[in-house]
């Protein structure tokens, strides 16, 4: 049964978009609360603008967890099932099912969600993570919409 249709253009369709990139001039003396910043000495030798992935390590539940990807385009914090298992917190997972869509429209179903204390640079915040079971290149992903 066909319940709808999509028209496919018969000729090539191209759309041109103009964009420009500007940088805000901010004072290094003022850093808003909750932001992580780097001093001039820490960024010495790094070519600007910097477009590589930002991978950090933080304390999660008083355990040093490496390979955490900061994803500025993601809306969710994601953590692997194996990481939660190694933290010894499987009993704190709240069973919920969500379908997460990736940038390539690949879907992954969550096993649940868990709230964990995250200590980054001496600041402790409780963050909600969606737990997925499967192969991840990193241990966790911090989403920053």
Looking at the DSSP bridge assignments, the partners of residue 79 are 131, 140
More confident residue, 1 or 21: 21
CATH architecture of 54-143: Beta Barrel (2.40)
pLDDT at 10: 45
pLDDT above 90: residue 94: yes
Q: pLDDT tens for residues 103-136? A: 667 788 889 999 999 998 788 889 999 999 888 8
Residues 6+ apart with CB under 8 A from 142: 68, 69, 70, 71, 74, 77, 127
pLDDT at 129: 94
pLDDT at 80: 93
pLDDT at 90: 93
Q: Residue ranges per domain, the chain?
A: 54-143
SS (H, E, C) 64-105: EEEEEEEECCCCCCEEEHHHHHHHCCHHHCECCCCEEECCCC
Q: What angle do CA 24, 27, 30 make, to 5 degrees?
A: 120
Residue 83 pLDDT class (50, 70, 90 cuts): very high
Note the pTM of the prediction, 2 decimals.
Answer: 0.66
What's the CA gap between 69 and 125, in Å, rounded? Answer: 17
Q: pLDDT tens for residues 14-65? A: 545 544 444 455 555 566 666 667 778 877 887 777 677 888 899 998 899 9
């Amino acid at each position: 049964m066909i319940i709808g249709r999509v028209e496919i253009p018969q000729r090539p369709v191209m759309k041109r978009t103009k964009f420009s990139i500007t940088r805000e001039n901010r004072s290094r003396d003022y850093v808003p609360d909750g932001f992580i910043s780097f001093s001039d000495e820490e960024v010495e030798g790094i070519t600007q603008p910097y477009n590589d992935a930002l991978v950090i390590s933080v304390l999660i539940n008083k355990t040093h967890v490496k390979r955490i990807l900061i994803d500025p385009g993601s809306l969710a914090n994601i953590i692997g099932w194996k990481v939660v298992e190694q933290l010894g917190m499987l009993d704190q997972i709240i069973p919920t099912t969500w379908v997460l869509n990736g940038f390539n429209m690949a879907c992954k179903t969550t096993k649940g969600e868990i709230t964990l204390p995250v200590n980054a640079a001496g600041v402790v915040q409780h963050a909600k993570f969606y737990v997925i079971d499967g192969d991840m290149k990193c241990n966790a992903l911090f989403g920053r919409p």
